[in-house]
Amino acid sequence: MSETTSTVFVVDDDPAVCRALTRLIRSAGYCVEAFGSAHEFLECCPDIQGCACLVLDVGLPDINGLDLQNELNSTKRPLPIIFITGDGDIAMTVRAMKAGATDFLAKPVNDSDLLPAIANALRVSSQALSSRIELDGIHGRMARLTPREREVLALLVEGRPNKQSACELGIAEKTIKVHRARVMEKMEAHSLVDLVRVIDKVCTRPAPVLHRDSQPRAE
């Protein structure tokens, strides 16, 4: 992961703290964007792209840090968060960590604590970004399947033999073989094991609409 492609957002209502954190983080080679309130952050960064993390003060005057964390978690793009606070307690720390925070640091924050915490948060972000890209690719390949191919896919990942799949769908076995080859090609799977592994990653198994009759019919 390249630091130049990573963005660290800082949200703190103390201008002096914002300036100090911005200088420190920028000196480590990261791109930094600082905000004085949660509302300002939400207005300026509605759709964050790429690898990023958030250094967030708990005691903000408008929306406190924990509530902002909850709001971000409700979106499709939660950020790894490093909380900083001058008056945190155990209950607050536990709540933040349970909600997915990567670190909870006390003010004044030491360089030796913050920079490793940022590196860790960005690793988490990078892994999540890679996973999203992979899942988007799988969903994109699945979208290329015809309705019949999705039915065949569902039976394939259940381990149904061609003959049984043909019987359940009411089509010829040779037609099943054609659809199976097209499914493997469109899903870019080199084997049935590979196909099953790919489908398991998206946690969706297309439900086939089975025909009641068992007589083969033309496709």
Q: What does the pLDDT read at residue 176?
A: 93
CATH topology of domain 3-134: Rossmann fold (3.40.50)
Q: In the CATH scheme, what architecture does the domain 144-202 have?
A: Orthogonal Bundle (1.10)
Q: Where are the domains of the chain?
A: 3-134, 144-202
Q: Measuring CA to CA, which residue among 25, 44, 201, 36 is closest to residue 118?
A: 25
Map tokens 């300026």 to a residue.
44
pLDDT by residue, tens only, the chain of 219 residues: 444 468 999 999 999 999 999 999 999 999 999 999 999 998 887 567 789 999 999 988 888 999 999 988 887 667 899 999 988 677 888 888 888 899 999 988 999 999 999 999 999 999 988 888 899 899 999 999 999 999 999 998 888 999 999 999 999 999 999 999 999 999 999 999 999 999 988 865 444 444 434 444 445
Q: Measuring CA to CA, which residue among 201, 195, 190, 198 is closest to residue 152?
A: 195
Q: What does the pLDDT read at residue 203?
A: 62
Q: Measuring CA to CA, which residue among 94, 42, 78, 43 is closest to residue 69?
A: 78
Q: What does the pLDDT read at residue 116?
A: 97
Q: What does the pLDDT read at residue 37?
A: 93
Please check whether the two domains, 3-134 and 144-202, share a CATH topology. Answer: no
How many CA atoms are closer than 13 Å to the CA of 145, on its beta-carbon side? Answer: 24
Do residues 186 and 144 make contact, with C-beta atoms less than 8 angstroms apart?
yes
Q: What does the pLDDT read at residue 113?
A: 95
